[in-house]
Chain A
Amino acid sequence: GAVVSQHPSWVICKSGTSVKIECRSLDFQATTMFWYRQFPKQSLMLMATSNEGSKATYEQGVEKDKFLINHASLTLSTLTVTSAHPEDSSFYICSAPFGAGDYEQYFGPGTRLTVT
C-alpha cells in the first residue's frame, strides 16, 4: 500500500524561530498533498492544499505568510512554520491521495511541534 512519511516526528523550538516539516510519498507520486493541524483532543483541520509546481491553496483563516508550503517535487511537500509562537504548538499531519480516482487519502504519522 501507499506510504507517507513525515520528518521530524517531533520538534521543540524557541519562540521566534522557524521550523520546517517534510512530507514524503515513499512509493508513489503525489501532485497534490494536504496539510492538517490537530490540537489536543480535537479533530483535524485542513490548513492548505499543496500543489506540485505551483502555489499552495490555503483554507480560510490560515496565514499563508506564516505557514509556507513548498511542493518542489512529486514526492515531497514541506511546511515551514515561520516565526513560531507557543500558539502554533500542535500536531501537524500531511496526507496524499492515491488510488483509482485519487479519492483515498494516505496519512503521514504526524509531527508534534512544541514552541517554547
Chain B
Amino acid sequence: AQSVTQLGSHVSVSEGALVLLRCNYSSSVPPYLFWYVQYPNQGLQLLLKYTSAATLVKGINGFEAEFKKSETSFHLTKPSAHMSDAAEYFCAVSVGGYNKLIFGAGTRLAVHP
C-alpha cells in the first residue's frame, strides 16, 4: 500500500533562508508524487508533480523537488524563503486507477523576518 510521511509538522525559517520540507513515500509501484500548498481556509494549490519523467522537478513560486528512488524521498526546497510562503504544505502520492491521492500529515511553514 502507498503511504507518505512528512518529517516535521512545523518548520520555521528566516526570510531569505533555504526552505527544506521533507517527504518520504512508500509504494509498491512507481509512484506519482505531488506537493500541494494550502493557505488558511482555502483549498489546495498544486506546487509541482513527479510523474516518472525528470527526477528534478521545478514548480511554481520558485519551489523544486527531487525524486530519489534509492532514498524513497521527494523533498521540497526553495533557495530563499519569502514571507508569502508561510502556509501548510502537503506531500501526496497517487494511487489506484482513479488516481486517488493519499496525503501526508502536512508541514506548517513559518517565515519570520
B77 to chain A, nearest CB (A): 21
Chain A residues lying within 8 Å of B98, measured Cβ to Cβ, are 32, 49, 97
Chain B residues lying within 8 Å of A6, measured Cβ to Cβ, are 43
Indicate the size class of the contact surface on chain B.
Answer: 20 to 34
Let me know if A104 and B49 touch, CB within 8 A.
yes
Give the nearest-CB partner of B96 in chain A. A49
Alpha-carbon distance A37/B94, docked complex (angstroms): 17
Chain A residues lying within 8 Å of B101, measured Cβ to Cβ, are 34, 44, 46, 95, 105
Determine, out of B17-25, B65-73, B103-111, the stretch whose residues face the partner at the interface: B103-111
Alpha-carbon distance A95/B105, docked complex (angstroms): 18
B86 to chain A, nearest CB (A): 15
Secondary structure at chain B's binding surface: helix, strand, loop or mixed? strand
Docked complex: A68-116 residues within 8 A CB-CB of B: 91, 93, 95, 97, 101-110, 112
Q: Is B56 an interface residue (CB 8 A)?
A: no
Q: Is A42 an interface residue (CB 8 A)?
A: yes
Give the nearest-CB partner of B44 in chain A. A107
With A93-B44, A112-B41 known as contacts, the answer to whether A103 contacts B94 (CB < 8 A) is yes
Give the nearest-CB partner of B100 in chain A. A46
Let me know if B90 and A97 touch, CB within 8 A.
no
Chain A residues lying within 8 Å of B34, measured Cβ to Cβ, are 105
- Interface residues, chain B, CB within 8 Å of chain A? 32, 34, 36, 41-46, 49, 51, 90, 94, 98-106
- Interface residues, chain A, CB within 8 Å of chain B? 4, 6, 32, 34, 42-46, 49, 91, 93, 95, 97, 101-110, 112
